[in-house]
Structure 1
Amino acid sequence: MVLKSLDDDQAQEVVTIPLAGKSSIADYMVVASGRSTRQVAAMAQKLAERIKHSGHGPVRIEGLPAADWVLIDAGDVVVHIFRPEVRSFYNLERMWAFGDTAPAAA
């Protein structure tokens, strides 16, 4: 449902990262980009509403006022929606990919 919602709202560069065995915070992390703060905020609000209305309980949202990076905690799934520049700066995909890729050469 999370991926469909992001796709419906034209999220860009959606990446799903399985967290099983890496972290106890969630089973999956989803990282996506929006073209502007307005789109990031709208996608986050719609996703939170869809999760709530589908019966998956309340969600926590952080970062909505600035909407450069919005975190949606839906329990088993944590969603990060960024503006592209902010996403590049934090590079969460690389941070959470430990164990999935070969180490860089020294």
Structure 2
Amino acid sequence: MITETKNSEPDSSSKVLIIANAILERKAGRLVILNVKDISAFADYFIICDGASDRQVQAIADAVQERMKKSGILPLGVEGEQAGKWILLDYTDVIVHVFYQPLREFYDLERLWADAPRMDVPGEATELNSLSNGIAS
């Protein structure tokens, strides 16, 4: 269920579901959702996933942008699109990190934000309908 705020934009947990489903559609690797609301001043959620090639990384980022645009939401900023090694999509309260798999290992953002409640989405998942209790707002 998508909850909308007063200005008709989906709330942060609804954005997470929209983004996660776009990511799953492109068969990204190791989708992780971190609830950083209580430990970050600039975002509620980080979404981290990876692709097996720069083309897959770009396709995942494109799918997220397309799905969010259909929901009436444009990113504040996009970084790294040309190289396709680490693409960051900034949706204000939700930050998406799409990595080329070897770079994800190197930067290990999950370790840097280890105090955040975490939801690991199973690799066989094709759709996400809700966030787990520890990760939901």
Q: How many residue pairs get matched?
A: 99
Structure 1 spans left out of the alignment, 5+ residues: 101-106
TM-score in terms of structure 1 length: 0.88
RMSD value, Cα: 1.3
CA distance in 2, matches of 1:99, 1:30: 12
1:6-85 aligned within 5 A: 6-56=23-73, 58-59=74-75, 60-85=77-102
Residue identity in the other structure for 1:9: R
Q: What percent of counterpart residues are identical?
A: 37
CA distance in 2, matches of 1:21, 1:87: 24
DSSP 3-state at the match of 2:49: strand
Structure 2 spans left out of the alignment, 5+ residues: 1-17, 118-137
Greater relative contact order: 1 or 2 (C-alpha under 8 angstroms, separation 6 or more)? 2
Kept in 2: contact 1:51–1:74 (CA 8 A): no
Residue number in structure 2 paired with 1:87: 104
DSSP 3-state at the match of 1:16: strand
